[in-house]
Amino acid sequence: MSRYIKAIQCKCPKCEKGAIFKDSGNPIFFKMPKMYKSCEACGYVFEREPGFFFGAMYVSYSLAVAELVALLVVVKFILGFGNIVLVISVAILAFLLSTFNFRVSRSLWMYFFERKSI
Ligand SMILES: [Zn+2]
């Protein structure tokens, strides 16, 4: 369980101490998160090969679908709003969670390939 938490906190998949990202980015200012090339604590190189993070797009897509289905359930079925409110709230949530999904998907992708899988 702690590996899940470390992955969500974007800690190094090898030592679980060093940070993966220099900053977390901010979607409101269109600022994407910036990664370190390697772990400051243990020297682990995050991008194992060119194109390594292509697979993180699938993780990001899965995260986005899970978040937006949860939003659909809340907005449509619990709060009872219509489709216009649903579309607007989906657009806003997808925009606001974009940098979070970017960071967590890359972190989860690295954890998937390092040591024991989670
Ligand atoms: Zn490390």
Q: Is residue 13 domain-resident?
A: yes
Q: How far is the CA of 75 from the centre of ligand 1 (A)?
A: 40
Q: Is residue 28 domain-resident?
A: yes
In this structure, are residues 36 and 22 in contact, taking their beta carbons and an 8 Å threshold? yes
pLDDT given for residue 2 in this prediction: 86
Q: Is residue 46 domain-resident?
A: yes
Count of structural domains, the chain: 1
Q: What distance in Å separates the CA atoms of residue 96 and residue 89, rounded to the nearest whole number?
A: 10
Q: Is residue 118 domain-resident?
A: no
| CB proximity list for 82: less than 8 A, separation 6 or greater | none
The residue written with tokens 């607007």 in the block is 88
Which residue segment(s) compose the domain that 86 sits in?
Answer: 2-113
pTM score: 0.88
Q: Is residue 18 domain-resident?
A: yes
Residue 116 has pLDDT above 90, yes or no: no
Q: How far is the CA of 11 from the centre of ligand 1 (A)?
A: 8
Q: Is residue 71 domain-resident?
A: yes
Give pLDDT tens digits for 72-91. Answer: 999 999 999 999 999 999 99
Q: How far is the CA of 17 from the centre of ligand 1 (A)?
A: 6
